[in-house]
Structure 1
Amino acid sequence: MNGGPVSREPARIGPILFSSTEDDMTTALDLRLVPAAAAAWAVSLLGLRAGWTASAWCGVVALAVGALALLRKRRTRAVRGVLVVCGVTAAMAAVVTVRVRHVAEHPVRSAAEQGLPALLRVEIDDDPTPLRSPGYGERPAGSDRVSVLVGLRQVEITDRTGRTTDLGGQGERVLLLAPSDWGGLLPGQEATARGELAPATRGDLVVAVLRVRGPPNEVTAAPWWQTSAGALREGLRNASRTLDPEPAGLVPALVVGDTTALPERVVGEFRAAGLTHLLAVSGANLAIVCGAVLLVCRLLRLGPRTCGVLAGLAVTGFVVLARPEPSVLRAAVMAGVALLALAVGRPRSALPALAGSVLVLLLVDTGLAAAPGFALSVLATAALVVIAPWWADALSRRGVPSGFAEALAVPAAAHLVTAPLVVALSGKVSLVAVVANLLAAPAVPPVTILGVLAAVVAPAHLAAAEVLLSVAGPPATWLVQVGRWAAAVPGAEFAWPSGVFGGLALAVVALAVLVALRFPRARVLLAVVLVGVVLAVVPTSVLRPGWPVSGWVVVACDVGQGDAVVVATAEPGRAVVVDTGPEPGAVDGCLRRLGVRRIPLVVLSHLHADHVGGLSSVLDGREVGAVALGPLHHPEWAAREVRQTAARAQVPLVGLGMGDHLEWPGLRLEVLGPRDAPVGPPPNADAGTPVNDASLVLRATTPAGRVLLTGDVELAGQSALLTAGTDLTAEVLKVPHHGSRSTLPAFLAAVRPHVALISVGAGNRYGHPSRLVVDALTDAGARVLRTDHDGDIAVLSAEQGTATARRGDPRAPPR
């Protein structure tokens, strides 16, 4: 979704555009390979999603249509085109059918459906990726679990009778869900893994999933080129530490896709700003590197063949360094085609090179047909080749300076074409992405080039690499600020139906807008409609009249599947925050809307990441007194990250335990639990229940009455409070564990709330909240409010009873 500005020079490399002059527009729109590439992609995707019989029938139909075309006596251009498309479709259908059937009928898949234990000898295919543990919102950095895509070399399966069967292996793909011990392996290494098989659900030729027990065994050495690439990546990480934490994490992410040191706040802001593509290596990175090499070659007056060879070496080296991600592979193959043409003195247009790269990559790895990253990369490059030159010329003819016209056309075209797929995946439409990409574009090339140079230099001379990155520091900081400013814009993104229907609906709208722009009267009508939409949407979606409501005392923030509660003191702009949600953006937005600038205490009820993930954004830019933890500091990765986040913000950590009291004007906090403070890490501390039952349970005394804040305490923790005879009565209850079934009816009866707040994510996979819990609260006379339905929920100070207001429906009066 990003790319360099359109040039007026005829020969370009990789995803960079060809000339946009009138004479070259015909070359840029050479469509001869496009139908064949589209057909190959469609049959591949059909085979992956619908099975090998569907792709086989596609091949039969293609052969039949091709045979009918061969019977025609006149071989017109259209007939020849049909023959080419039918031939490519039939060939790809045969390849897809064989591969999908092989996976579908593989004996490992049958064993996975039975959940049998297995011992696998595997070869690592890709870098291990930190996992997000279901229910606990695991952090990308410091996770205790990783996923690893591997190729099978040997398989031993043990059936229910204890008999072991040796199935061999031919490189079939398996996904490992493994402990963090696997995180340091490099592609090309072999290892032995033991665990239980499970069915694969990815639809990309993965035979099965293995839930690994224990560290890798019998590990071989990595190939020298992967070891070298690993050393270069490590050198880049080390050299980046000379920068401030946020730019230091961004540089490796932008240059080689390494996000291990990237703060979650930056990730959330880039997502809202439409800049997420900068955090994954794309074809634009390769184009920048390749373009820099060609520029040096031109300055040295080298011949075209020498330029092609040197640029080809740069492409190969960068792919190894950045790892073969779908977009990098697509750009590398496309650049290879263009470089070959350059070397033999026959430059080609970019569109046939893109179509050819799609054909080659799908032939080599059919699973790419279902990869969102691959689709986004191809669509963005096609937009830069087809639409951006046209728009840039149109703007130039209307008096817009050519450089500005090209800089505006590139992100606008890429965003327009990729928006339907982004919406289908996320259900969000960004309104600031074009402007954010326009502002970010000038900073990307210097950071990329200096980062690559620093990665190459760092293993030999770390100080020299640090000097290079000190020069890259200001543009990297600019990128962070652009993401922050864009994400802070009210209404920066709005919801849209996700899935295939949502994507197709947005594509129809975008196409209608493009057609309308060609007709003057339609443009006027479109402008009137746009103004009407803005007038209708802004007051309700952006300005939110009446929010925050006057006299709010407690607000349950809508942070998705997680918890974040704000409890006001009597001083304006000052409040205590209990838990911070799963990611930075949501809780930061909630605090901004409430005008909270001073936080005497941030309480983390327990250390699952759906409660601590937004801590960095709460601490940033606000006056914070301390961060309070309960007695259990597990999982270890979360405790370590909380300590590091607090240390960076220079905020002290304090401990809370049962019986502690804290008081501020208008607010009093009592710590009621946990009753039985755990000693040391509980068994399987990362899995859920032991950590949940160690949640801090707080009772806040406010002008609106007593508020019971329960974290994720489950059955054992609730039972301990009841057995000890703890007074749990409260007018407002933050329902434990997102309203899950692990809530005792006796616990709810002891609280006797007038208002029950359930913090829960819309459409979550866990079935939260439980209908049994909601019905029990409703039957007892409580008013049940949910963040997934009501958005931010406020409890107000009222003379009679307990009043509430909902930001999700600003028309709803306080009740």
Structure 2
Amino acid sequence: MTGTTGSRAAPPRWTWVDLRLVPVAVAVWAVTLGAGHVPPLVSVAVAAAAVLCAAVVVTRRDRSGALVVLVVLAAVATAATAAAVRGAVHASSPLTELGGDRQVHVVLEVDGDPRRIGGAAAPRLVLDATVTALEDGGGTARLSAVVVVFAPEDGWTGLLPGQLVRARVTVSPAAPADGVVARLSARGPPEPVGGAPWVQRAAGGVRDGLADSADRVLDSPAAGLLPGLVVGDTRAMDPVLTEDFRRAGLSHLTAVSGANVSIVLAGVLAPLRRRAADPRLQALVAVVALAGFVVLARPSASVVRAAAMGAVGLLALASGRSRAALPALSASVVVLLLLDPRLARDAGFALSVTATAAIVLLAPGWSRRLRGRGSPGVLADAVAVAAAAGLATAPLVAGLSGLVSPVSLPANLLAAPAVAPATVLGLLAALVGAVVPLAGDALVWLAGWPVRWLVAVARAAASLPDGASGWPAGTRGALLLTLLLLAAGLLLWRHPRLRALALAVLVGVVVLGWPLRQVSDGWPRPDAVIVACDVGQGDGLVVPTGPGEAVLVDAGPEVGPIDRCLDRLGVDVLPLVLLSHLDADHVGGLVGALSGRDVGTIATGTLSPADDRSAALDAQAGRAGARREVLLPGDVRTVGSATFEVLAPPAEIVTAAAEPNDLSLVVRVTHRGVRVLLTGDLGAAAEARLLARGVDLTADVLKVPHHGSADADEAFLAATGARIAVISVGADNTYGHPAPGLLSTLVRAGMRVHRTDLHGDLAVVGDADDWGVVGDGQVP
């Protein structure tokens, strides 16, 4: 079957014949994905079976389609053999024999930039590396093992790809499906062994120069975004802005993507195209430019992936046939998966491939139809590309994030005019600034204007109510949205008369339904005593204390959920922030809660002297303009109409060996006459000690400790006398929370259980005479 070509002047369009390499790419992807979950012998058997099947195909007389089948079988055999070799190497690595708390010295070759993880507590870095030597027990073993390293910032931040360092680490073997041999955890700084290659040092200097120039010339959000957009340097990215870009469907702009590569190639090739240079020369120049850009942006998995997707068009350019992009895309997928099998499980890789395929297959035809209806060429191309990529990747995005973003298409259309100027000016600023810093600053100033536009678009789109709606996460959610989109597309294609009706329904929903929902959803409740925000697997509780004002207790694991919950509640002022302890599921989202809000005091209980996260929290408080305070049992704080009584932990039990969970700040809140006991992540032993001290634990509402963990003391739970139990817990979490036994215990104690994983945000509403619990948008 061949697509209609239209006039003779129309460029050649793809045909079904061009899809012959697609089964090859799918086969390699499937084999690579499955090989990590089976022993190497199974991969060997798969390879042998593929060879036998190929031999049978060769001997058959009917050769129709035999070439495609043989190529697919060859791909399966190759991928399975490669997987078997990797599995054997993984099993025989000396690193797999190490584990527990045993520490060894290793020599590492850094493979990519260290990436910052963590929240308000002491941040950690993660980086990809290759172990070249293992020093254990006086001997040295030479090896080449791909690992992932978790390390503190001290000494690790400035490492460059290709650099050799020696470090003392704890080794945790990884599953073959993870694509690495082991996970290494370092506590101290590394010891340099060898410098990075001069190319990487030069590229690092250019990147640092751009970041420094942006910090000097631009305001905070734009200063962090420009280096990320241009060269993938996200060190200064505002995490709240990153979340806004994600909710707006613009997350591909917060780091290097295929769009950047396309813009760079277009800029390099423009002079050659104006002079009608030989297509092969254009392709050669583009290859050189592409290689240079990969070095500058770092040869990480995401950059190499983006470069490969950008290079898909090079074969089409050299051959003069645009439809060559289809087999080029398939070949790129095969090569990348064989070189780096970890991409088979990489969500970004799947999104890049899907978006590129949609742009190649769908966008040209959609653009022609829009042009035929009088749309300007530039607008037609922008709409077609954004719509094709957005619709094709929507099921994957929904499955991965549990979100559907209706604002993604208009946000991308509004952002599109600013992406190319920002990228080109930023790249010129990086290169020119390395030689003439003043000229680089001037170019950064110019680039700042389109970057500010991108920031404004992302923030506006993310702030729209229902701009990003919840959707079932995982494979089920992705398949459901795929089926809905296919069904809708088929109906509109087969029945053109339905298009006007569909447009009318869409306009009605936007013009009438959306405003009506905003007025009638009944949230926030003016009589709220406390709100348990749905922050996933963590705690984030809000006590409204006045118009636009509230006390925050913990901030959940990520910046987005707690920021959105506070926005929904209309909170702009946080006179007091209480942190039960500094584990990531309680403070990881703190920067999102503090950003753009007036903050008074950030308080904790007495922290362990061995807790190295307190300094980072102090710094976070300083940046927010907040005071730091440590609360002790007996302390009472009154904010607005709410009173906060501190019950634990007593200073005498705080030792270096104490578990952070057992040192959780325990507070009883009395608000509107209703008492709520907040218990952090206390375990059974700590609960029993608190009960044995004779502390008055009575409350009307119990925030169940540790997200409903089975590690709970039944006598402690009963001693609260609470009628309601609220569990802040993430849906489909891997910890088994809340534990069935714990739920039974709460019921036996006479409590009615409410869970954020089932009901979303939960609010205790009313007063001492008449109170109850409602979920977000539920009006009793």
With normalisation by structure 2, the TM-score equals: 0.87
Shift of 1:542: 6.9
Q: Is the 8 A contact 1:420 1:504 kept in 2?
A: yes
The residue number in structure 1 matching 2:462 is 487
User: In 1, distance between residues paired with 2:610 and 2:252?
Assistant: 31
Shift of 1:155: 3.5
Change in 2 beyond 3 A, CA 1:64/1:322: same
Between 1:409-418 and 1:625-634, the stretch displaced more is: 625-634
Is 1:545 the counterpart of 2:545 in the alignment? no
User: In 2, distance between residues paired with 1:639 and 1:748?
Assistant: 30
Q: 1:190 aligns with which of 164, 172, 181?
A: 164
Is 1:203 the counterpart of 2:177 in the alignment? yes
Change in 2 beyond 3 A, CA 1:577/1:330: closer
Change in 2 beyond 3 A, CA 1:803/1:714: same
Ranges in structure 2 where 5+ consecutive residues have no aligned partner:
none
The residue number in structure 1 matching 2:701 is 732
User: In 2, distance between residues paired with 1:20 and 1:471?
Assistant: 43
- Measured against aligned partners, the alpha-carbon deviations of 1:407-459 in whole angstroms (never above 9, x if no partner) come to 11212211222233333333333322222222222222222222222332444
Question: Aligned runs of 1:148-159 on 2, under 5 Å?
Answer: 148-156=127-135
Is 1:98 the counterpart of 2:85 in the alignment? yes
User: In 1, distance between residues paired with 2:591 and 2:726?
Assistant: 25
Between 1:792-801 and 1:640-649, the stretch displaced more is: 640-649
User: In 2, distance between residues paired with 1:53 and 1:514?
Assistant: 44
Question: Aligned runs of 1:292-307 on 2, under 5 Å?
Answer: 292-298=267-273, 307=282
- Measured against aligned partners, the alpha-carbon deviations of 1:435-493 in whole angstroms (never above 9, x if no partner) come to 22222222222222222223324444444333222222222222222222222222233
Name the SS for the 1:39 alignment partner.
helix
Q: Is the 8 A contact 1:204 1:368 kept in 2?
A: no
Change in 2 beyond 3 A, CA 1:527/1:472: same
Question: Aligned runs of 1:747-786 on 2, under 5 Å?
Answer: 747-786=716-755
User: In 1, distance between residues paired with 2:274 and 2:620?
Assistant: 47
Shift of 1:678: 8.6
Name the SS for the 2:147 alignment partner.
strand
Change in 2 beyond 3 A, CA 1:573/1:465: same
User: In 2, distance between residues paired with 1:722 and 1:23?
Assistant: 79
Change in 2 beyond 3 A, CA 1:677/1:405: farther
Name the SS for the 2:368 alignment partner.
helix
Q: Which amino acid aligns with 2:485?
A: A
Q: Is the 8 A contact 2:47 2:77 kept in 1?
A: yes
Shift of 1:266: 1.4
Is 1:359 the counterpart of 2:334 in the alignment? yes
The residue number in structure 1 matching 2:484 is 509
Ranges in structure 1 where 5+ consecutive residues have no aligned partner:
1-9, 11-18, 132-137, 159-163
Change in 2 beyond 3 A, CA 1:321/1:20: farther
- Measured against aligned partners, the alpha-carbon deviations of 1:239-269 in whole angstroms (never above 9, x if no partner) come to 2213222222222222222222222211222
Q: Is the 8 A contact 2:122 2:617 kept in 1?
A: no
- Measured against aligned partners, the alpha-carbon deviations of 1:682-716 in whole angstroms (never above 9, x if no partner) come to 648xxxx6444444433333223223333345567
Is 1:440 the counterpart of 2:415 in the alignment? yes
Q: Which amino acid aligns with 1:125?
A: D
Aligned residue pairs total 772
User: In 1, distance between residues paired with 2:573 and 2:306?
Assistant: 48
The residue number in structure 2 matching 1:134 is none
The residue number in structure 2 matching 1:125 is 111
User: In 2, distance between residues paired with 1:596 and 1:330?
Assistant: 41
Q: Which amino acid aligns with 2:87?
A: V
Q: Is the 8 A contact 1:733 1:753 kept in 2?
A: yes
User: In 2, distance between residues paired with 1:664 and 1:405?
Assistant: 56
Shift of 1:84: 3.5
Q: 2:245 aligns with which of 270, 279, 296?
A: 270
With normalisation by structure 1, the TM-score equals: 0.84
Give the fraction of aligned pairs with identical amino acids, expressed as a percent.
45
The residue number in structure 2 matching 1:176 is 149
Shift of 1:781: 2.2
Q: Is the 8 A contact 2:104 2:170 kept in 1?
A: yes
User: In 1, distance between residues paired with 2:319 and 2:500?
Assistant: 51
Q: Which amino acid aligns with 1:506?
A: L
Q: Is the 8 A contact 2:96 2:181 kept in 1?
A: no
The residue number in structure 2 matching 1:111 is 97
Between 1:19-28 and 1:373-382, the stretch displaced more is: 19-28
Change in 2 beyond 3 A, CA 1:723/1:66: closer
Shift of 1:219: 2.4
Q: Which amino acid aligns with 2:18?
A: D
Change in 2 beyond 3 A, CA 1:544/1:61: farther
Change in 2 beyond 3 A, CA 1:418/1:543: farther
Shift of 1:306: 5.5
User: In 2, distance between residues paired with 1:337 and 1:638?
Assistant: 46
Q: Is the 8 A contact 2:108 2:165 kept in 1?
A: yes
Is 1:562 the counterpart of 2:542 in the alignment? no
User: In 1, distance between residues paired with 2:48 and 2:507?
Assistant: 51
Change in 2 beyond 3 A, CA 1:95/1:669: closer
Change in 2 beyond 3 A, CA 1:66/1:783: closer
Change in 2 beyond 3 A, CA 1:45/1:621: closer
Q: Which amino acid aligns with 1:81?
A: V
Q: Is the 8 A contact 1:326 1:371 kept in 2?
A: no
Name the SS for the 2:149 alignment partner.
strand
Shift of 1:516: 2.3
Q: Is the 8 A contact 1:634 1:691 kept in 2?
A: no
Q: Which amino acid aligns with 1:37?
A: A
Q: Which amino acid aligns with 1:757?
A: V
Question: Aligned runs of 1:668-687 on 2, under 5 Å?
Answer: 668-676=643-651, 683=656
Q: Which amino acid aligns with 1:711?
A: G
Change in 2 beyond 3 A, CA 1:26/1:167: same
Change in 2 beyond 3 A, CA 1:379/1:542: farther
Is 1:455 the counterpart of 2:442 in the alignment? no
The residue number in structure 2 matching 1:391 is 366
Change in 2 beyond 3 A, CA 1:639/1:233: farther
Q: Is the 8 A contact 2:543 2:551 kept in 1?
A: yes
The residue number in structure 2 matching 1:402 is 377
Between 1:326-335 and 1:699-708, the stretch displaced more is: 326-335
Question: Aligned runs of 1:281-360 on 2, under 5 Å?
Answer: 281-298=256-273, 307-333=282-308, 339=314, 349-360=324-335
Q: 1:80 aligns with which of 40, 48, 67?
A: 67
Q: 1:237 aligns with which of 211, 215, 223?
A: 211
Name the SS for the 1:469 alignment partner.
helix
Q: Which amino acid aligns with 1:151?
A: T
Name the SS for the 1:24 alignment partner.
coil
Q: Is the 8 A contact 1:338 1:348 kept in 2?
A: no
User: In 2, distance between residues paired with 1:647 and 1:195?
Assistant: 32
Shift of 1:560: 1.5
- Measured against aligned partners, the alpha-carbon deviations of 1:250-303 in whole angstroms (never above 9, x if no partner) come to 222222222222222112222222222222322221111121122244568866
Between 1:379-388 and 1:280-289, the stretch displaced more is: 280-289
- Measured against aligned partners, the alpha-carbon deviations of 1:49-84 in whole angstroms (never above 9, x if no partner) come to 4454454444445444444443455765x3433343
Is 1:45 the counterpart of 2:33 in the alignment? yes
Q: Is the 8 A contact 1:607 1:635 kept in 2?
A: no
Shift of 1:389: 1.1
Q: Is the 8 A contact 2:406 2:468 kept in 1?
A: yes
User: In 2, distance between residues paired with 1:543 and 1:380?
Assistant: 37
Shift of 1:304: 5.3
Change in 2 beyond 3 A, CA 1:45/1:728: closer
Q: Is the 8 A contact 1:150 1:173 kept in 2?
A: yes
Name the SS for the 2:543 alignment partner.
strand
Between 1:254-263 and 1:766-775, the stretch displaced more is: 766-775
Q: 2:193 aligns with which of 210, 216, 219?
A: 219
